[in-house]
Amino acid sequence: MGNCFRRWEKPSIYTVSSNAKSEFPKYERPSKKQMREDSKLPSNPKEVEDLRRDSAANPLIAFTFEELKIITGNFRQDRVLGGGGFGRVYKGFIREDLREGLQPLQVAVKVHDGDNSYQGHREWLAEVIFLGQLSHPNLVKLIGYCCEDDHRVLIYEYMAGGSVESNLFSRILPPLPWSIRMKIAFGAAIGLAFLHEAEKPVIYRDFKTSNILLDMDYNAKLSDFGLAKDGPVGDNTHVSTRIMGTHGYAAPEYIMTGKFL
Ligand SMILES: Nc1ncnc2c1ncn2[C@@H]1O[C@H](COP(=O)(O)OP(=O)(O)OP(=O)(O)O)[C@@H](O)[C@H]1O
Ligand SMILES: [Mg+2]
């Protein structure tokens, strides 16, 4: 694997903490100060792996970019599943002959779009660390990542039902029956409850229909932890009041007060 070297300084704490995530609204470009702070984050593959392994619940696979080309058919246009603030998402397939020990698996490969992306290394790292720590049937499973040169890629389990957004606004698919909608809402709520009730609670901060993914049976899984943040633990009840999320999806009382009520 190549090196994704950037100049970086050892962070003071090796935990998932607020300094691993963005503090700017999702669709604003990072300020110069933010970019300077970004350069302090671990971005050398070995350091990322050390940081991750410390708190890992999921064994993640570190893919090379060459392997991802094979998985996605060289990032073929007709494999594009969608795109967002981070970059494009491609459908891919891991064949067992890709590398010894790998099982065949359908995956979704989310590729950072360099300077065109509204998100960056912080969001990528937050996703790797949070989803590396957390495991639950209502959270999307992160299979692995790639951190090579300037490439930042996330590899997830493929969710064959797509996002709730694509189901709600599709011109092809029939409208979802209410029973299915309730099943999805229930699954997403269980995912949120798991995050809030975890030993180290997590505030998700990007709850919206495009981030709720579905399997073939309409089981809902939360995705996108790039904006997630540690919640209050014990007596330490302070959480940032900086308002984060996606316009149009945050609760009005949260936008008005900056507090999670
Ligand atoms: N694991 C996955 N399996 C199947 N499709 C996926 C998966 N992850 C993402 N997608 C598809 O890719 C689309 C884009 O996802 P992405 O998270 O990059 O952007 P978004 O959620 O639409 O916007 P934002 O950047 O604000 O989160 C999703 O809407 C979904 O259709
Ligand atoms: Mg998303």
Mean predicted confidence (pLDDT) in 2-8: 37
206 catalytic? Reply is: yes
Model pTM?
A: 0.80
Residue nearest to ligand 1 atom 22, measured at CA = 84
For residue range 43-86, list pLDDT tens digits in order: 666 667 666 665 566 789 999 999 999 999 999 999 999 998 88
Which protein residues touch ligand 1 with a CB less than 6 Å away? 81-86, 89, 108, 110, 140, 156, 158-159, 162-163, 165-166, 210-211, 213, 223-224, 246
Domain span at residue 87 reads: 21-157
pLDDT given for residue 241 in this prediction: 59
pLDDT given for residue 248 in this prediction: 67
Tell me: do 138 and 31 sit in the same domain: yes
Q: What's the CATH number where 252 sits?
A: 1.10.510.10
Residue 142 belongs to some domain of the structure: yes
Angstrom CA distances, 20 to 11, 99, 175, 240, 241, stand at: 10, 31, 39, 13, 16
The secondary structure of the chain in percent helix, strand, coil, rounded to multiples of 5, reads: 30, 20, 50
Of 102, 123, 157, which residue is a domain's last? 157
Q: Which of 206, 217, 230, 235 is catalytic?
A: 206
pLDDT classification of 131: cutoffs 50, 70, 90: confident
Binding positions are 110
- Distance from Cα 223 to the centre of ligand 1, integer Å: 8
Ligand of minimum distance to the alpha carbon of 164: 1
Tell me: do 50 and 70 sit in the same domain: yes
Tell me: do 32 and 152 sit in the same domain: yes
- Distance from Cα 17 to the centre of ligand 1, integer Å: 24
Of 157, 181, 199, which residue is a domain's last? 157
Residue 3 belongs to some domain of the structure: no
Arithmetic mean of pLDDT over the chain: 79
Question: What tokens does 111 get?
Answer: 């590729």
How far from chain centre, in Å, is Cα 100? 27
Residue 42 belongs to some domain of the structure: yes
Binding positions for ATP are 110
Count up the domains in the chain and report the number: 2
